[in-house]
Amino acid sequence: MSFPHPWQLMPDVASVFSTMTIVPTTPQILAEFRSSSSFDKTLLVAIWELGEGIGPLFIVPLSEKFGRLAVFYIGNFLALRCLVGCALSVNIPMLVTFRFLTGCFLSILTLGPAIVGDFFDMDQTGLSMALVMGTQMIADFISPIAGSYIAEDLGWRWAIWLAVIVLGFFSLSLASVLKETYAVVFLRRKAKRLQNGSTGGTTFRSKHQARVDAISVLESILKPLHILIQSPILTLTTTYMATIYALVSLIIATLTEVLQSTYPTIFSVGSIGLTFLSLAIGNTIALTFYSLTSDHYVLRQRNEKSDDFKLESRLVHLLFAAFILPIGLLLYGWTLAGRSPVYCPPDWNRGCRIWYSQLCERSD
């Protein structure tokens, strides 16, 4: 089975680009709307994370009901409309609302691991997941660099218009080439073709035939919550992941303000975006390590344990991440408090991100 063409990774780049471009421009936004609230600043950056957390509760079940492609197109279109709303915002509440909705609709990125699962067997997902997640994560931290320099010369609204242009371009150009990947949808379509071509009284029906009504859609939406509540291990794991994600998001939300206040003579509105390069480098190192070791380890465990093999074997990387990530977070804080040389905090931040990205294995 072959990996999807490189252009299939481009929606991930465009979608992530749309959410992070605004991060280094928040001081300009607050100045225009005459706000000095640190709460407003954090909310502007982090509110899309809330949307990204709520969106998958609806998007993933709906993708199993209607297919990946339909949900992806609708999510992209609505996210594009919300980005336009962000660029035209006249006050902070309006901007925060559209940022939240953008996060909800761009949580279509959570379909990435599901699409990888559609393409590959379990022992082939390591490299492919590294490519998909790496595309998203690196774009996550390259986009603030572009946004910071554009905001410095043209203003923060143009940083958002850039995100609109990028997302719109890829959405239109890929509309004719993206294909459905969900096997259940293929079976439903095949059953429908056979039924339409049947001249007798034979009825063809896929065992995965979707029942589309309000009750079935609600059941699909509530199913993940039911699984989460019924599984203590899953509840503990997701709580831990949510805590780590919140801490790393806090670093991202405050990185611009912290570095500018700690090193006021070094960073301008444009150059502050370069600090996000440390995060991109950390992700690249982590995902390279993961791609080189994950599939090999799973194959070895599968050969050694045979029937005793479990999917959880892929989570061995979590042990390293859980140990090293707190160390990186502590060192990041200590170097800032001690006003160490300017390269130290981003480097420790990069160390945090290296192991944080090891926590993001979700495909199995």
Residue 1 domain-assigned? no
The domain boundary residue, chosen from 193, 221, 249: 221
Decide: 213 and 50 in contact? Cβ < 8 Å: no
Residues 324 and 334 occupy one common structural domain? yes
Residue 177 domain-assigned? yes
The pLDDT of residue 125 is 62
Q: Say yes or no to pLDDT of 73 above 50.
A: yes
For the segment 46-74, the average pLDDT, to the nearest whole number, is: 79
The pLDDT of residue 20 is 73
Residues 84 and 133 occupy one common structural domain? yes
C-alpha 196, offset from chain centre: 40
CA distance to 144, 149, 168, 217, 281, per residue, from 11 (Å): 18, 23, 10, 26, 21
The domain boundary residue, chosen from 221, 240, 271: 221
Q: Say which residue, 28 or 189, is predicted with more confidence.
A: 28
**Confidence band for 97, pLDDT divided at 50, 70 and 90:** very high
The pLDDT of residue 247 is 79
Domain count, the chain: 2
The pLDDT of residue 237 is 78
Residues 145 and 73 occupy one common structural domain? yes
For the segment 208-218, the average pLDDT, to the nearest whole number, is: 64
Query: What pLDDT digit, counting tens, does each position of 134-177 carry?
Result: 666 666 667 777 777 888 788 889 888 888 888 888 777 777 77
Residue 321 domain-assigned? yes
The domain boundary residue, chosen from 199, 221, 243: 221
Residue 226 domain-assigned? no
Residues 174 and 201 occupy one common structural domain? no
The pLDDT of residue 118 is 65
Residues 47 and 81 occupy one common structural domain? yes
Q: How many CB atoms lie within 10 A of CB 96?
A: 17
Tokens (6 digits) for 275: 């600090």
**Confidence band for 357, pLDDT divided at 50, 70 and 90:** very low
CA distance to 29, 83, 88, 339, per residue, from 140 (Å): 20, 16, 23, 27
For the segment 287-296, the average pLDDT, to the nearest whole number, is: 72
Closest by CA position to 25, among listed 104, 89, 78, 76: 89
Residues 152 and 194 occupy one common structural domain? no
Residues 85 and 41 occupy one common structural domain? yes
For tokens 């170097």, the residue is 335
C-alpha to C-alpha distance for 221 and 227, rounded to whole angstroms: 11
Residues 164 and 206 occupy one common structural domain? no
SS3 state at 258? helix
Max mean pLDDT among 58-62, 92-96, 112-116, 196-200 falls in: 92-96
Decide: 220 and 64 in contact? Cβ < 8 Å: yes
Decide: 106 and 163 in contact? Cβ < 8 Å: no
Residue 141 domain-assigned? yes
The pLDDT of residue 98 is 92
Q: CATH number of the domain at 173, please.
A: 1.20.1250.20
Residue 106 domain-assigned? yes
| Least-confidence region, from 222-236, 251-265, 285-299, 346-360 | 346-360
Residue 52 domain-assigned? yes
Residues 57 and 88 occupy one common structural domain? yes
**Confidence band for 323, pLDDT divided at 50, 70 and 90:** confident
Residues 158 and 307 occupy one common structural domain? yes
Q: What is the pTM (predicted TM-score) of this model?
A: 0.71
Range of the domain at 201: 182-221
The phi-psi region of residue 86 (left if phi > 0; otherwise alpha if psi is between -120 and 50; otherwise beta) is alpha
Residues 153 and 287 occupy one common structural domain? yes
Q: Say yes or no to pLDDT of 295 above 50.
A: yes
Residues 76 and 217 occupy one common structural domain? no
Mean pLDDT of the residues in the chain: 72
Residue 340 domain-assigned? yes
